Amino acid sequence: DTGVSQNPRHKITKRGQNVTFRCDPISEHNRLYWYRQTLGQGPEFLTYFQNEAQLEKSRLLSDRFSAERPKGSFSTLEIQRTEQGDSAMYLCASSLAFKSDYGYTFGSGTRLTVV
Amino acid sequence: GEDVEQSLFLSVREGDSSVINCTYTDSSSTYLYWYKQEPGAGLQLLTYIFSNMDMKQDQRLTVLLNKKDKHLSLRIADTQTGDSAIYFCAERGNSGNTPLVFGKGTRLSVIA
């Protein structure tokens, strides 16, 4: 098991462009979470999936953001018409639903810089 | 809504004990967590405690929970330079479907 894998590690994009990030969770984990972390802040919840169903979305997830987990395995997070304020580390985590009390396993994140 | 507060910085000498403190507001929190983040990396789960416990010890780590005051602490014994990192406190409400809420993190600097 290679843990939670996120790609790319770094992304630099121009304002107004669309970007897509990928997360591959631990294979047997049915829950997948997306968080955003800006400099000097803790991770902020964006959304989570159980299998392919998106169960909760934060108010932080504006209509420019969309997340999918089509087959209940990997997930993608797309940001359309990026803005400088979208610059952040995007963290993915996974867990087993019945073991989520014991915490999540995080990936190394994708650092997005919007110029 | 839920809120988790931590002091931002802590500096200790190598070999001393470190104590990182956290307060939270959600009285229905059932699980509380400590995560560690090294530069450029994701978060690593260090330990967690269930709300009906007062203390949990795991090797050099001791977690103390005062549920009445909604105060959580992480003590690291014999702090090493490799412990330098940002430590995040997180809480989860009373439902298994509630996502974790994190504090802003405490940056621990260990001086050799």
pLDDT digits (tens, 9 = 90+) for A56-98: 999 888 999 999 999 889 999 999 999 999 999 999 999 988 7
Mean pLDDT computed over every residue of chain B: 92
- Contact residues, B window 11-30, toward A, CB-based 8 Å cutoff: 30
Task: Give the percent of chain A with pLDDT over 90.
Answer: 84
Q: Which pLDDT value is given to residue B34?
A: 97
> Are A96 and A30 in contact, with CB atoms under 8 Å apart?
yes
Nearest CB to B42: which of A56, A98, A107? A107
Query: Which residues from chain A sit within 8 angstroms of residue B44, using beta carbons?
Result: 106
Locate the DSSP E strands across chain A.
5-7, 10-13, 19-24, 31-37, 44-50, 53-57, 65-68, 75-79, 88-95, 105-106, 110-114
Nearest CB to B99: which of A40, A45, A97? A45
SS3 A18: coil
Q: From the CA of A82, how many Å to the nearest CA of chain B?
A: 22
Query: Which residues from chain A sit within 8 angstroms of residue B43, using beta carbons?
Result: 43, 91, 93, 106
**A33/B103 Cβ within 8 A:** no
Range A20-40 average pLDDT: 95
Nearest CB to A106: which of B30, B42, B99? B42
Burial class (CB in 10 A: 0-12, 13-18, 19+), B54: exposed
